[in-house]
Amino acid sequence: MTSSSTTTGASAAPGSSRDARHRRLDPANQPPSRPAPHTLNVDDILTDPQTHILVCCGSGGVGKTTTAASLALRAAEAGRKVCVLTIDPAKRLAQSMGLAELDNTPRSVSGINHAAGGSLDAMMLDMKRTFDEVVQAHATPEKAEQILSNPFYQALSSSFAGTQEYMAMEKLGQLHHQKDPDGTPRWDLVVVDTPPSRSALDFLDAPARLGSFLDGRFIRLLMAPAKAGGRAYFKVLSAGVNLAVGAMSKILGSQMLQDVQTLTAALDTMFGGFRERADQTYALLSRSGTAFLVVASPERDALREAGFFIDRLGAEKMPLAGLVVNRVMYSRAPQLPETVAVSGAVAMPHDEEHRTTIAILRLHAATSQVARRHQDLIQRFLDAHPGVASVQVPAASQDIHDLEALREIGAALSGTAR
Ligand SMILES: Nc1ncnc2c1ncn2[C@@H]1O[C@H](COP(=O)(O)OP(=O)(O)O)[C@@H](O)[C@H]1O
Ligand SMILES: [Mg+2]
């Protein structure tokens, strides 16, 4: 499949935004023209047969899940075999993608256009089950059983900070390597959403942090009694460490400490394993078949986070495709300056007859002000990060929770909306 034929497929697909009758994206809230330099061309990325992994990252609530789902759908309708790994889809979006079951396996999404020969599977990450699978893959059945039934493991696997990020990476690695019975890759593009952490950097940092927790000093210290056994242990350790363990017993409770010790003894064979796997997936992310899209809303904090993330990708030599600025407001009548609208509203007689006109003029002034602030913030960001390709996606008047709305976001992302 050539990239030009898939591009044609994307724009001609029935059901794509061109023949959508019921547009969800507000036709009035559209950019006056496409931003000029360094426009991000998502279709080039999606239809490039060399793109195998697309990671959507950014701080919480900016639209990562929406962007990941929209791009996955667009790529599938352009002819690629796509799997989208979502982390925390909003309930209605999950339902419309057939993600009612949290069973940790990708399922085919119905309602997509297969004319170009593509397909879309979707799954929602089940962090605990992914952790269980890693344990089962690395330990003997008895040892796995011992680990999985340990109460401390149960707490660790569902609540330790960073577990979700680690497991998202783990799952990404698994999906990327999954093969069909004939030995060909099961999917040719895996689109990943990232966990709802406050900071986008957590996704890159957590695996190493969890790895160092699992093979770190703390765990080794707790493991010592299980290894050395009883008294020998107390002889070897210094008084200081003894005190520390004593204090921890008090805080954690002795049953808890025993659970941790049993667990860590059982996890012993897997140290390295975790690190190694995280390192392998990390390496996968730096390859040329991977593209990172950083998503931000046109707000100061989200753009600051996006900036940190972009700098970090640069430092790690990870392949940044560009920046998506989502939920951008535009002036609905740019030819009518905000000041004129305000003075017009003030000058008008405040009677019944003019009430609606005054309200519209004030709304226009308020919207224009937000639109101007959005463009100022975006411009400032792009000035500070020259060379970063970007695309703006308008704020829709409703939440994005069905395939048609995802198609429209996809069209906006590719600059082919309207
Ligand atoms: N362009 C948009 N216009 C309107 N609503 C949007 C847009 N993008 C996302 N949303 C809505 O914003 C909310 C948060 O989006 P989501 O993709 O879940 O963010 P994240 O995954 O970054 O936390 C969702 O309710 C989604 O429907
Ligand atoms: Mg999300």
Q: From the CB of 396, is ligand 1 less than 6 Å away?
A: yes
On whether the pTM is more than 0.85, the answer is no
Looking at the CA of residue 395, tell me the nearest atom of ligand 1.
3
- Residue 249's pLDDT is 58
**298 C-beta closer than 6 A to ligand 1:** no
Ligand 1 atom closest to Cα of residue 196: 23
Check whether domain 3-10+34-215+271-413 has CATH 1.10.510.10, yes or no = no
3-class secondary-structure state, position 390: strand
Q: Using only C-alpha atoms, what is the Rg of the chain?
A: 26
Strand, coil or helix: 328: strand
Helices 202-214, 217-228: axis angle to 10 degrees equals 20
Report how far ligand 1's centroid is from the alpha carbon of 393 (Å).
11
DSSP label at 184? S
The pick from 85, 125, 399 for probing ligand 1's pocket by mutation, whose C-beta has the most ligand atoms within 8 angstroms, reads: 399
Residue 402 Cβ inside 6 Å of ligand 1? The answer reads no
In tens digits, the chain (418 residues) has pLDDT values of 333 333 333 343 444 444 444 455 666 677 665 545 689 999 999 999 999 999 999 988 999 999 999 999 999 999 999 999 998 888 889 988 888 776 788 999 999 999 999 999 999 988 888 888 888 877 788 878 887 887 777 777 776 667 778 788 888 988 999 999 999 999 999 999 988 766 667 777 776 666 666 655 445 555 555 444 444 444 444 444 455 555 555 555 666 666 666 676 666 656 556 667 777 877 888 888 999 999 999 999 999 999 999 998 898 888 999 999 999 999 988 899 889 999 999 999 989 999 999 999 999 999 999 999 999 999 999 999 999 999 999 999 999 999 999 999 999 999 887 5
DSSP-derived secondary structure letter, 37? T
> Nearest to residue 113, comparing CAs of 146, 79, 149, 153?
79
Beta bridge partner(s), residue 57: 294
CB-ligand 1 contact for 324 (6 Å cutoff)? no
286 φ/ψ angles, rounded to the nearest 5 degrees = -90, -5
Number of Cβ within a 10 Å radius of residue 382: 19
Domain boundaries, the chain: 3-10+34-215+271-413
| Number of helices and strands in the chain (H, E) | 18, 8
Cβ count within 10 A of residue 8? 15
Instruction: State whether the beta carbon of 262 lies less than 6 angstroms from ligand 1.
Output: no
The three-class DSSP label of residue 200 is coil
- For residue 64 and ligand 1, the question of a CB distance below 6 A is answered with yes
Q: Which of the ligands is closest to the CA of residue 93? A: 1
- Measure 177 CA to ligand 2 centroid, in angstroms: 24
Phi, psi of 242 (to 5 degrees): -55, -45
Ramachandran bin of 370, using left for φ above 0, alpha for ψ from -120 to 50, beta for the remaining angles:
alpha
Residues forming a β-bridge with 163: none
Q: Identify the bridge partners of residue 296 per DSSP, sorted by sequence position.
A: 325
Atom of ligand 1 nearest to the CA of 25: 3
Ligand 1 center from residue 355 Cα (angstroms): 33
